[in-house]
Structure 1
């Protein structure tokens, strides 16, 4: 055993702290707002008259709640269907589906992407079922939403914001 200059045994090097593992707990899920408009029924068309084409728009919102480490995340889906033959609307479904999450172990600089990527992933299977049930119960074939790539959605939104900032920046 070697000694240090003061006669004491050498101390082991301090071990780096193990990174904290992110933990997420879903505390609640809820429909904040939902509407379904069946245009076909209102106009008196028959199902033989339509060739549906479906478009889906997704947006996200997240905010801190007053309780410590709690966040509210809302996924907003707008599902529209038009008749391929003449582009007339068939139905419109708007769904705002939220969740309240307890999130621990996520660095502050990573919280924004975590809330807008991981939390919506947890909510999505429930949104998919609500959309399928609502469209089926509304008289149409059930719309089974394709899986949403929330990472790509997040990256696209960040890129869009950066482009908007560049466009607003004064030219030198």
Structure 2
């Protein structure tokens, strides 16, 4: 074994030096502490008739929204709210709503960059799980899985800002 203390000390995430050194104190950090289904609803009011075929001209409408806010010292919650409504000429095929949340530790990020991190980066990290939950619940309802296209949360954030206001949405419930 080497007698070199530096070689045996824990390294920072970049491996350049000891963890907790002067450089690590000011390095921006975004850590996922938890992620969870906060609310989930699936309705298929026309079942079992709708399970025999969607009818003519099935249409799907998908809406997404993000809420975020502080939950403690350096801890923030971001919640992706997604709704999908499938309809045909004969009526509603299914409705699904999901609130999928995440707790994030965010440190050393400038105040002017906090909102983009909360409303773009955090939901981007959560989205693959949102997509899986939606696909699974629709499949479990007896329909082909709903495979959502990727969502550009940066564009969504910009659109919400252009509508006016400092933040796209308030803190989550």
Indicate the residue corresponding to 2:84 in structure 1: 79
Indicate the residue corresponding to 1:147 in structure 2: 150
Q: Which segments of 5 or more consecutive residues in structure 2 lack a partner in the other structure?
A: 1-22, 166-173
Once the two structures are superposed, the pairs formed by residues 28-39 of structure 1 within 5 Å of their partners are 28-39=34-45
TM superposition shift of 1:87:
6.4
Indicate the residue corresponding to 1:55 in structure 2: 61
SS in 1 for 2:134: helix
CA distance in 2 between partners of 1:103 and 1:48 (Å): 47
Q: Runs in 1 of length 4+ with deviation above 3 angstroms?
A: none
Q: Name the larger-Rg structure.
A: 1
Indicate the residue corresponding to 1:169 in structure 2: none
CA distance in 2 between partners of 1:125 and 1:25 (Å): 17
Superposition RMSD on alpha carbons, in Å? 2.1
Indicate the residue corresponding to 2:128 in structure 1: 125
Question: Do the aligned partners of 2:62 and 2:83 also contact (CA within 8 Å) in 1?
Answer: yes
Q: Which segments of 5 or more consecutive residues in structure 1 lack a partner in the other structure?
A: 1-16, 163-172
- CA deviations 1:117-167 (Å, max 9, x no partner) are 0000100000000000000010111001100000000000001126xxxxx
CA distance in 2 between partners of 1:79 and 1:103 (Å): 31
Once the two structures are superposed, the pairs formed by residues 11-30 of structure 1 within 5 Å of their partners are 20-30=26-36
TM normalised by structure 2 equals 0.75
How many aligned positions are there?
142
CA distance in 1 between partners of 2:42 and 2:134 (Å): 10
Question: Do the aligned partners of 2:55 and 2:90 also contact (CA within 8 Å) in 1?
Answer: no
Indicate the residue corresponding to 1:12 in structure 2: none
TM normalised by structure 1 equals 0.76
CA distance in 2 between partners of 1:79 and 1:36 (Å): 10
